[in-house]
């Protein structure tokens, strides 16, 4: 545990002593702010129109109309920025040869992987927590429901954590950060749109493709549905990412 914490601390420090984390977080927040603003603006104009009709007015739901699409937008931004946060994790250690220090210290491969992964999750969490600033205003001027909102955030966190695990894996296969980022981005996008292929598939394959798609599982969560199969899906992706990373590191040493 102490070893994991040592690695984690060092990684967090590296994120925040280089400009990467600041730039990524800033761009992320600007984009989230923009999406939030347009959704709220749209919601406002809808409310004004509906104000004439008490029945429709009752139907207006800020969770459905603002937060659900907002979470979708945020997840797309995560798809774009997470490869940039994960590319460094292992590729750089290889490039500047510091992995020789890590692997000749009394650390296990698992400790190194978990240390780095948890640091990346801290950055992800920081990003998500900061998006609460605009969200808090909706509590002042409106009455959104908290549970579906938290559920959506849990979904975002799980999606981001899955992306990060896949990014960590691609960072372990190369010493070039750009290559790692590009491979991660390609893989994430492919997984995201896997359900498109499901439209033309039938029966068993349709279910498989739908199940594998990031989108399908995330959609439930933004709408406030917490299904164990979604949780299992994300946790399996995270586990698979970390497991493959371990396998790559292990095999590279034995070759």
**Minimum distance of other proteins from residue 176's CB (angstroms):** 17
Q: Residues near 218 by Cβ (< 8 Å), separated by ≥ 6?
A: 71, 72, 75, 155, 159, 230
248 binds other proteins (CB under 8 A): no
**Minimum distance of other proteins from residue 81's CB (angstroms):** 21
Residue 238: closest CA among 87, 91, 117: 117
Residue 245: closest CA among 191, 174, 192, 190: 174
Count residues binding other proteins (CB under 8 A).
25
**Minimum distance of other proteins from residue 14's CB (angstroms):** 6
Query: Of the listed pieces 30-38, 93-101, 127-135, 141-149, which binds other proteins according to CB under 8 A?
Result: 93-101
Among 34, 57, 103, 196, binds other proteins (CB under 8 A): 103
Return the structure tokens found at 112: 């190194």
Among 14, 46, 73, 126, binds other proteins (CB under 8 A): 14
Q: How many CB atoms are located within 10 Å of the residue 173 CB?
A: 18
Q: Residues near 160 by Cβ (< 8 Å), separated by ≥ 6?
A: 78, 82, 124, 127, 128
What does the alpha-carbon distance between residue 158 and residue 31 come to, in Å, rounded to a whole number? 20
13 binds other proteins (CB under 8 A): yes
Among 104, 200, 202, 251, binds other proteins (CB under 8 A): 104
Phi, psi angle pair for 208, to nearest 5°: -60, -50
100 binds other proteins (CB under 8 A): yes
CA dist 45 → 39, 49, 124, 135, 151 (Å): 10, 6, 33, 18, 27
Cα–chain center distance at 234: 11
Return the structure tokens found at 95: 């490039």
Binding mask of the shown chain, residues 144 to 173, with x at each position contacting other proteins by CB under 8 A: ------------------------------
What does the alpha-carbon distance between residue 155 and residue 38 come to, in Å, rounded to a whole number? 22
Residue 2 or 58: which CB sits closer to other proteins? 2
Among 10, 72, 206, 223, binds other proteins (CB under 8 A): 10
Query: Of the listed pieces 101-109, 135-143, 157-165, 173-181, which binds other proteins according to CB under 8 A?
Result: 101-109
Query: With the C-alpha atoms ordered 78, 206, 186, 244, is the resulting torsion angle positive or negative?
Result: positive
219 binds other proteins (CB under 8 A): no
Residue 87 or 188: which CB sits closer to other proteins? 87
Query: Of the listed pieces 5-13, 35-43, 149-157, 232-240, which binds other proteins according to CB under 8 A?
Result: 5-13
17 binds other proteins (CB under 8 A): yes
Query: Residues interacting with other proteins, by CB under 8 A?
Result: 2-3, 6-7, 9-10, 13-14, 17-18, 96-107, 253-255
């Amino acid at each position: 545990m102490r070893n994991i914490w040592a690695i984690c601390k060092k990684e967090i420090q590296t994120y925040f002593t280089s400009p990467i984390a600041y730039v990524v977080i800033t761009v992320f927040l600007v984009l989230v702010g923009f999406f939030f603003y347009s959704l709220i603006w749209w919601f406002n104009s809808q409310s004004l129109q509906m104000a004439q009709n008490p029945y429709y007015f009752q139907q207006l739901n800020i969770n459905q109309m603002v937060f659900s699409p907002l979470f979708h937008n945020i997840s797309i931004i995560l798809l774009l920025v997470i490869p940039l946060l994960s590319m460094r994790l292992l590729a750089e250690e290889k490039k500047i040869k510091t992995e020789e220090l890590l692997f000749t210290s009394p650390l296990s491969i698992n400790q190194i992987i978990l240390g780095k992964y948890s640091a990346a999750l801290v950055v992800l969490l920081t990003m998500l927590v900061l998006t609460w600033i605009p969200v808090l205003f909706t509590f002042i001027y409106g009455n959104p429901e908290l549970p579906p909102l938290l559920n959506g955030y849990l979904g975002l966190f799980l999606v981001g954590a899955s992306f990060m695990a896949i990014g960590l894996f691609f960072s372990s296969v190369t010493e070039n950060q750009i290559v790692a980022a590009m491979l991660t981005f390609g893989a994430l996008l492919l997984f995201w749109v896997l359900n498109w292929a499901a439209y033309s598939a039938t029966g068993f394959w349709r279910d498989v493709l739908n199940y594998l798609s990031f989108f399908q599982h995330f959609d439930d969560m933004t709408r406030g549905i917490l299904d164990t199969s979604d949780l299992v899906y994300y946790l399996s992706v995270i586990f698979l990412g970390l497991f493959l990373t371990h396998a790559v590191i292990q095999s590279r040493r034995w070759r």
